[in-house]
Homo-oligomer: A and B are copies of this chain.
Amino acid sequence: MTANATTSRRGRRRGSGARRSASSGDNPHLEVPFIRRAIPTYDILGEPALERIEATADRILAEIGMEFREDPETVDLFRAAGGTVREQSPDVWNIRFEPGLIRDLLKTAPATFTQHARNPANNVEIGGDAVVFAPAYGSPFVMDLDQGRRYGTIEDFRNFIKLGQSSPWLHHSGGTICEPTDIPVNKRHLDMVYSHIRYSDRGFLGSITAPERAADSIAMCRILFGADFVDENCVIMGNFNTTSPLVLDGNTTRGIRTYAAAGQGSIHLPFLLGGAVSPLTMAGAVAQCLAESMTSCALTQLVRPGAPAVLGSFLSTMSLRSGSPTFGTAEPALGSLVMGQLARRLSLPLRCAGNFSTSKLPDAQAMQQAMMSMLSAVQCGANYLLHSAGFLDGLLSMSYEKFMLDTDACGALHVYLNGLDTSDDALGFDALAELGPGQHLFGTAHTLRHYKTAYYDSALDDNQPWETWSEQGGIDAATRANARWKAVLAAYEPPPLDPAIDAALLDFMTEKKTSMPDAWY
Contact = CB atoms under 8 A, between A and B. Distances in A.
Contacts of A180: none
Contacts of A460: 365
Contacts of A317: 454-455
Contact of A437 (B245, B335, B337, B372): B245
A256 to B, nearest CB: 18
A477 interface: yes
Contacts of A396: 466
Given A367-B368, A420-B334, A318 B455 contact: yes
A405 B53 contact: no
A283 B426 contact: yes
B360 A371 contact: no
A386 B365 CA distance: 22
Interface string A57-71: 001100111110000
A345 interface: no
A207 B93 CA distance: 72
Given A284-B426, A322-B464, A464-B322, A476 B441 contact: no
So how many copies of this chain end up in the complex?
2
A461 interface: yes
Contact of A281 (B53, B287, B288, B454): B454
User: How many interface residues does chain A have, given as a range?
Assistant: 35 or more
A477 B284 CA distance: 31
B364 A324 contact: no
Contacts of A474: 360-361
A355 B70 CA distance: 52
B405 A279 contact: no
Interface stretch (A77-85, A160-168, A325-333): A325-333
Nearest to A59: B429
Nearest to A412: B330
B246 A427 contact: no
A496 B371 CA distance: 40
> Which of A278, A320, A481 has most B Cβ within 10 Å?
A320
Given A276-B442, A363-B477, A405 B461 contact: no
A221 B67 CA distance: 67
Given A330-B416, A422-B53, A280 B450 contact: yes
Nearest to A279: B428
Contact of A429 (B284, B371, B415, B446): B284
Interface string A351-371: 000000011111111111111
Contacts of A331: 415, 454-456
A219 interface: no
A515 interface: no
Contacts of A65: 437
A439 interface: yes
B364 A371 contact: no
A419 B44 contact: yes
A465 B415 CA distance: 35
Interface in A346-395: 358-372, 375, 379, 393-394
Contacts of A159: none
A361 B458 CA distance: 17
> Which of A44, A409, A427 has most B Cβ within 10 Å?
A427
A430 to B, nearest CB: 9
Contacts of A514: none
12 contacts: A60-B429, A275-B451, A281-B450, A284-B426, A287-B427, A318-B455, A329-B455, A358-B463, A364-B405, A367-B367, A368-B370, A393-B466
Interface of A: 24, 39-40, 42-45, 49, 52-53, 56, 59-60, 63-67, 94, 141, 149, 243, 245-247, 274-288, 317-322, 324-326, 329-331, 333-335, 337-338, 358-372, 375, 379, 393-394, 396-397, 402, 405, 409, 412-413, 415-416, 419-423, 425-429, 431-433, 436-442, 446-447, 450-452, 454-458, 460-466, 469-470, 474, 476-478, 481
